[in-house]
């Protein structure tokens, strides 16, 4: 089987067990992103755990438990590396089984092409080969083509549940593939949005009021961005466009309601543009063969210059903590890594550069930790917290207590504005800390 190397690819059918036999101790293996991670290959590779050592597996946003990790609880055989954590990846990291790779999401294809050594084996889940010989990448365009360019051996796990999604670079031809595993008809993981809380609804209401007809939306992961979609269904707003990294069910709702038409977009008019989709079966079926959607590599969707080509870009993203100068820490809790940089900073910058654009960083004012309520608006960030959006980039900040724009504001003005967004129980303490740390000078009213 090793005869089918780069320049002589034949897309030869193999079993998952035969494909897993290609992996050697010390190899780099790439599983790809999200729904593109293979399942049958993963189980077959996990079954070989005792035969292998120090196999390094790179992935992102894992949506199902991985057999390679279940088969190797001590991490003696497989090392798990990750570009962006899901809840599953976070648990693995907490257990010392996963290592984060810092990344601006839109730069991922460039990382593979410029900085990452050749990958020994790539295995990704795709749609089955079509009549023209193409394996569609489906819901996870992201950086997968760049990843395969660096691969010595390319394996696809062809799954009949994977939708075929239109896009300019969203498929691999059979001449670019070495081996094909029959992925069967197992359904894709379905991720349903959690019920919207009263706090999320109030934050969403404040953001929705800032969205005008013809705006072009980017919606990030989390309850608050999804709540905005829910409120926009009932708002008097028209002709919205979509240029986002992640496509979610809430955006499908807006399309079906006729609120998203993409008619006013300067770039890709008429098209809903995204780089990956994650949600329910309804979402996956809605994009299958849909000529009005376009799945693009993440260096197209996320680079600020591309984002800014549309007018009135509205970027909506969550954070977990913000300090009184406007630094947003969105990916860690102290030294504990919880998610990833993703595309937040790139969309913040792209929205700012867009004519009439707005970026929103949203958060609840408080959270509970071990039964104690704590403020997400803080005088100084928790030690070890990673700054995702620097103070110089932060524009609108929103909690359930209001919305402020930090652009052009002095440090004292920022601190005063952000204190007004904190829960009332914490405002006095925050004001005292701001004056003690000279964020608000003595003479400042």
Query: E strand or H helix at 300, and its extent?
Result: helix 298-301
Confidence of residue 6 (pLDDT cuts 50, 70, 90): very low
Sign of CA dihedral 336, 342, 343, 349: positive
Taking only the tens place, the pLDDT of each residue in 331-387 is 999 999 999 999 999 999 999 999 999 999 999 999 998 899 999 999 999 999 999
How large is the average pLDDT for residues 189-205? 90
pLDDT for residue 412: 97
Distance in angstroms (rounded) separating the CA atoms of residues 332 and 313: 27
How large is the average pLDDT for residues 409-426? 98
How large is the average pLDDT for residues 274-280? 96
First to last CA, the chain: 75
Taking only the tens place, the pLDDT of each residue in 207-257 is 999 999 999 999 977 777 778 888 898 888 999 999 999 999 999 999 999
Distance in angstroms (rounded) separating the CA atoms of residues 223 and 191: 13
In angstroms, how far is CA 148 from the centroid of its own chain?
A: 20
Cβ contact 180:155 at 8 Å:
yes
Sheet strands (E) in 137-226 = 151-158, 171-173, 179-182, 216-219
Largest CA distance in the chain: 77
pLDDT over 90 at 102, yes or no:
yes
At 126, give phi and psi (nearest 5°): -135, 175
Place of tokens 């293996």: 29
Angle, alpha carbons 399-84-289 (nearest 5°): 95
Percent of the chain with pLDDT over 90: 91
For residue 149, indicate whether it is catalytic.
no
Percent of the chain with pLDDT over 70: 98
pLDDT for residue 55: 98
Taking only the tens place, the pLDDT of each residue in 45-99 is 999 999 999 999 999 999 999 999 999 999 999 999 999 999 999 999 999 999 9
Given 107, 176, 245, 331, which residue is catalytic?
245
**Paired tokens of 308:** 């800014």
Distance in angstroms (rounded) separating the CA atoms of residues 347 and 361: 11
Distance in angstroms (rounded) separating the CA atoms of residues 420 and 363: 14
**Paired tokens of 169:** 């670079």
pLDDT for residue 383: 96
How large is the average pLDDT for residues 171-183? 97
In the chain, the domains with their CATH numbers are 12-182 (3.40.1080.10), 198-436 (3.40.1080.20)
Kindly compute the dihedral angle of the four CA atoms of residues 103, 107, 110, 116, in this order, to the nearest 10 degrees. 10
pLDDT over 50 at 5, yes or no:
no
pLDDT for residue 8: 65
| Mean model confidence pLDDT for the chain | 95
Distance in angstroms (rounded) separating the CA atoms of residues 38 and 209: 42
Cβ contact 82:101 at 8 Å:
yes
pLDDT for residue 146: 97
pLDDT over 70 at 158, yes or no:
yes
**Bridge partners, 398 (sequence order):** 362, 403
pLDDT for residue 2: 31
**Paired tokens of 191:** 């991720």
Distance in angstroms (rounded) separating the CA atoms of residues 190 and 285: 12
pLDDT for residue 4: 38
pTM of structure: 0.95
Distance in angstroms (rounded) separating the CA atoms of residues 174 and 178: 8
Mapped onto helix, strand or coil, the DSSP state of residue 76 is coil
State the angle between helix axes of 424-436 and 411-419 in degrees (0 to 180), rounded to the nearest 10.
Answer: 160
In angstroms, how far is CA 350 from the centroid of its own chain?
A: 16
How large is the average pLDDT for residues 4-19? 80
At 389, give phi and psi (nearest 5°): -120, 115
Distance in angstroms (rounded) separating the CA atoms of residues 337 and 89: 10
Q: How many CA atoms, within 13 angstroms, populate the side-chain half-sphere of residue 115? A: 7
Closest CA to 156 of 5, 300, 38: 38
């Amino acid at each position: 089987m090793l005869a089918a190397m780069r320049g002589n690819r034949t897309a030869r059918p193999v079993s998952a067990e035969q494909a897993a036999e290609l992996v050697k101790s010390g190899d780099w293996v790439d599983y790809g992103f999200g729904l593109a991670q293979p399942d049958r290959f993963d189980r077959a590779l996990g079954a070989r755990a005792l035969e292998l050592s120090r196999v390094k597996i790179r992935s992102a946003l894992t949506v199902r438990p991985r057999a390679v990790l279940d088969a190797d609880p001590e991490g003696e055989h497989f090392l798990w590396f990750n570009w962006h954590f899901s809840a599953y990846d976070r648990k693995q990291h907490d257990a010392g089984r996963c290592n984060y790779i810092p990344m601006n999401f839109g730069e991922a294809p460039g990382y593979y092409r410029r900085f990452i050594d050749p990958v020994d084996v790539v295995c990704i889940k795709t749609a089955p080969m079509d009549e023209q010989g193409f394996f569609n990448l489906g819901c996870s365009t992201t950086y997968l083509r760049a990843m395969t360019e660096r691969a010595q051996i390319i394996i696809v796990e062809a799954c009949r549940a994977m939708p075929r999604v239109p896009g300019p670079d969203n498929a691999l031809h059979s001449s670019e593939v070495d081996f094909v595993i029959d992925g069967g008809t197992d359904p894709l993981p379905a991720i349903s949005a959690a019920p919207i809380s009263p706090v999320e609804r109030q934050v969403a209401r404040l953001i929705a009021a800032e969205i005008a007809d013809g705006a072009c939306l980017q919606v990030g992961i989390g309850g608050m961005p999804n709540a905005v979609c829910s409120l926009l269904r009932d708002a008097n707003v028209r002709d919205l466009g979509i240029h986002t990294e992640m496509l979610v069910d809430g955006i499908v709702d807006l399309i079906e309601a006729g609120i998203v038409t993409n008619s006013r977009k300067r770039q890709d008019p008429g098209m809903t543009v995204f780089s990956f989709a994650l949600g329910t079966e309804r979402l996956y079926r809605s994009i299958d063969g849909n000529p009005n959607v376009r799945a693009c590599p993440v260096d197209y969707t996320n680079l600020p210059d591309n984002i800014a080509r549309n007018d009135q870009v509205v970027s909506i993203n969550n954070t977990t903590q913000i300090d009184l100068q406007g630094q947003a820490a969105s990916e860690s809790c102290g030294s504990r890594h919880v998610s990833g940089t993703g595309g937040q900073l790139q969309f913040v910058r792209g929205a700012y550069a867009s004519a009439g654009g707005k970026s929103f960083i949203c958060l609840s004012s408080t959270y509970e930790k071990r039964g104690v309520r704590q403020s997400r608006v803080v005088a100084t960030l928790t030690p070890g917290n990673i700054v995702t959006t620097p103070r110089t980039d932060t524009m609108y900040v929103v909690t359930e207590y209001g919305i402020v724009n930090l652009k052009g504001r002095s440090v004292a003005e920022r601190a005063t504005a952000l204190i007004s967004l904190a829960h009332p129980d914490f405002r006095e303490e925050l004001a005292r800390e701001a004056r003690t740390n000279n964020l608000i000078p003595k003479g400042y009213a």
